[in-house]
Amino acid sequence: MAPITVDHEISCSLTPQKLFKAFVVDANELMPKVVPNFFKSFQTIEGDGGVGSVTLVTFAEGSNIKPAKHKIVEVDEEKHVFKYNLIEGGILGEDLESVSYVFKFDKSDDGGCTIKIASTYNPKKEDHDDHGIKEIIEKGKEATKGFIHAIEAHLHGHA
């Protein structure tokens, strides 16, 4: 089945450097603290946290989302690019084989940043449930926006 690629952008008042550090570099510590109603823990289970590492993401009690494994493909702190693949659990199931994500944090004219996100969903079957995958995509976009803005509020409150 042909992959489904979705691009979207999120604006944030934080600089690319500050958001990249919080959302990518410090994610294991920060995300469960900032969004405890969604994330229980982030744990590096293979590697040193850099390229090739695998992170186990455990979701909050009652979320009905299976623990997910993310494999880091690229971390470029200079260009503010983060790429990872969802390789197990999470939203994967009957319809999806894997998902790849690319985050690019660009400086915006107002001093904040724009996060450009490209998500590539790889369906398992030719006759996949298109409606089900579209619903997963929309929920993912909204969740990511919520995570970014939660980090933004947290960092403004703890500056």
Write out pLDDT tens, residues 23-65. Answer: 999 999 999 999 999 999 999 999 998 999 999 999 998 888 8
16, 115 contact by CB (below 8 A)? no
Residues 6+ apart with CB under 8 A from 62: none
pLDDT score, position 113: 97
What token pair was written down for 156?
């403004």
Portion of the chain with pLDDT greater than 70, in percent = 95
Least confident of 41-50, 87-96, 114-123: 87-96
29, 150 contact by CB (below 8 A)? no
pLDDT score, position 158: 79
d(CA 109, CA 112) in angstroms, rounded, equals 7
pLDDT band for 129, please (50, 70, 90 cuts). low
d(CA 53, CA 76) in angstroms, rounded, equals 14
What token pair was written down for 56?
């186990």
pTM over 0.85: yes
